[in-house]
Amino acid sequence: MSIVVVTGAAGLIGAEAVRFFSRRGFKVVGIDNDMRRYFFGAEGSSQPNLEGMVAQCPGFVNHAIDIRDRAVLTAIFQEYNKDIALVIHCAAQPSHDWATREPLTDFDINAVSTLNLLEAVRQYCPKAVFILTSTNKVYGDHVNQLHFTEQATRWELDAGHPYFAKGVDERMSLDQCLHSLFGVSKLAGDLLTQEYARYFGIKTGIFRGGCLSGPGHAGVEGHGFLAYLMKCAVVGRPYCIYGYGGKQVRDNIHSHDLVMAFDHFFRAPRAGEVYNIGGSRFSHCSLVEAVALTEKITGQRMNILLSDEARRGDHIWWVSDVSKFASHYPAWELTRGVESILVEIFNMNATRWTTASS
pTM of the model: 0.97
Q: Which of 158, 143, 151, 159 is nearest to 278 (CA)?
A: 143
pLDDT tens digits, 94-105 = 999 999 999 999
Q: Which of 221, 225, 218 is nearest to 349 (CA)?
A: 218
Paired sense of beta strands 155-157 and 148-150, if any: antiparallel
Question: Residues of the chain with pLDDT > 90: what percent?
Answer: 92
pLDDT tens digits, 69-88 = 999 999 999 999 999 999 99
3-state secondary structure of 2: coil
CB of 146 within 8 A of CB of 163? yes
Count, residues in the chain: 358
Query: What are the residue boundaries of the structural domains of the chain, listed by start?
Result: 3-357
Q: Say which CATH class 3-357 falls into.
A: alpha beta
Task: Report residue 9: phi and psi, to 5°.
Answer: -65, -25
Q: Which of 89, 269, 122 is nearest to 189 (CA)?
A: 89
Q: Which of 263, 259, 271 is nearest to 193 (CA)?
A: 271
pLDDT band at 356 (very low <50, low <70, confident <90, very high): confident
pLDDT tens digits, 140-194 = 999 999 999 999 999 999 999 999 999 999 999 999 999 999 999 999 999 999 9
User: Which residues are CB-contacts of 225 (< 8 A; sequence separation ≥ 6)?
Assistant: 211, 213, 219, 250, 252, 290
